[in-house]
Structure 1
Amino acid sequence: MSEQPGQQAKKPFLYIVVCGSGIAGDVGRLIGAAQEAGWGVGVVATPQGLSFIDAEAIEAQTGYPIRSAWRSPTAPQPLPAPDAIAVVPATFNTINKWAAGISDTLALGILCESYGLGTPTAALPYVNSAQATHPAYAESLRKLRAMGILIGSYEPHRPKAGGGADRFNWEEALDLLTPAVATKQ
């Protein structure tokens, strides 16, 4: 982005879509890393994702309210438009619904619309190995990649074990998105 003399560059804005997962409570790690890298950040949570996060702490960290439900048409827009979106952690349910074009939550509505808007989007899956073997999952990842969605490299964890949180690379979302946003500007 080129700056005119005396003008300050606009800070890029990142939406982090948080899904219902045992590791979702660590989303502050990604928020902090994004802010350190110069991003403004807003969080959009799936309805299930809300129960896995500390909303008050996230709102204090971002300076914005968490979005989880549609607003009325006359209500003000609580977040700036995103320059990029990170779906982290991306659950089995969200990945499959998103790839199928299902828009039954605000988070999925934003994700489905972002494709048409050309918003750079990355997803870091967090699924167990039994879910990962389901044919719909592989097909959904293929569809999302074909749409230009950047998919992270997380290895599925054992079923009923949770786990893998220590290996989950939150910052990979920024690694995937930063070049995509830079080429768009």
Structure 2
Amino acid sequence: MTRTLYLFSSAAPPVFDIARVVEDAQADGWDVCLGLTPTAARWLDKSLDGLAALTGHPVRWDYKLPGEPDVWPKADAILLAPATFNTVNQWALGITDKFVVGVVAEGIGKQIPIAVMPCVNTAYAVHPQFERSVETLREAGVTVLYGEGGFMPNQPGQGHKAAYPWRTALDAVRDLPHVG
């Protein structure tokens, strides 16, 4: 039985490796549906058709209109990575104007297993709302891959997309409760 992974990404440099991550997730046995924040979709604009062909599903970054059919199968798990400062805070605060944030916010209530790996620098990480948001998501049952064993913030301007721990994120989503 094929499991469906909603792979959601924000506009942070590791998003440029998303095709490889989709392939790795597929090699792990996932049917991948790719969702992006609007800015991430703009960054990957020239790759969207190829990403849709790679996943076999349309890449989404906006809500469907009322009455339109859902073009994706139901999710067995969700991985939101990279998750920017803005995305993490919007999610924790319930601000769902972005498609991916709305789906993960609702995913908590639907009890879909969810993992998130932030991608923030140390200047953002010290903002008091960020730590509150991380704790809010953890308290809601989300696996937050931040700190030891997950993403460690770098100094502003010192991040390298190749250093982003994608394999850690994919392993974590595989190991989520209720994901077989």
Give yes or no for the alignment of 1:103 onto 2:99: no
Counterpart among 164, 176, 179 of residue 180 in structure 1: 176
Counterpart among 65, 68, 76 of residue 75 in structure 1: 68
Higher alpha-carbon deviation: 170-179 or 38-47: 170-179
Give yes or no for the alignment of 1:28 onto 2:19: yes
Counterpart among 151, 163, 166 of residue 144 in structure 2: 151
Structure 1 unmatched runs, 5+: 1-9
With normalisation by structure 2, the TM-score equals 0.91
State the shift of 1:48 in Å.
Answer: 1.0
Name the counterpart of 1:42. Answer: 33
8 Å Cα contact 2:36-2:59 kept in structure 1 = yes
Please state whether the residue corresponding to 1:41 is helix, strand or coil: strand
8 Å Cα contact 1:145-1:151 kept in structure 2 = yes
Q: Distance in 2 between matches of 1:51 and 1:157?
A: 25
Give the aligned CA root-mean-square deviation in angstroms: 1.4
Identity over the aligned pairs, expressed in percent?
A: 33
Q: Which amino acid aligns with 1:143?
A: T
State the shift of 1:184 in Å.
Answer: 5.3
Q: 1:59 to 1:121 in 2, by over 3 A?
A: same
User: How many residues are treated as equivalent by the alignment?
Assistant: 174
Q: Which amino acid aligns with 1:16?
A: L
With normalisation by structure 1, the TM-score equals 0.89
Structure 2 unmatched runs, 5+: none
Higher alpha-carbon deviation: 14-23 or 113-122: 14-23
Name the counterpart of 1:89. Answer: 82
Q: Which entry has the higher C-alpha Rg, 1 or 2?
A: 1
Give yes or no for the alignment of 1:167 onto 2:160: no
Q: Distance in 2 between matches of 1:20 and 1:43?
A: 13
Q: Distance in 2 between matches of 1:150 and 1:138?
A: 14
Q: Distance in 1 between matches of 2:8 and 2:179?
A: 21
8 Å Cα contact 1:18-1:24 kept in structure 2 = yes
Please state whether the residue corresponding to 2:89 is helix, strand or coil: helix
Structure 1 runs of 4+ aligned residues shifted over 4 Å read none
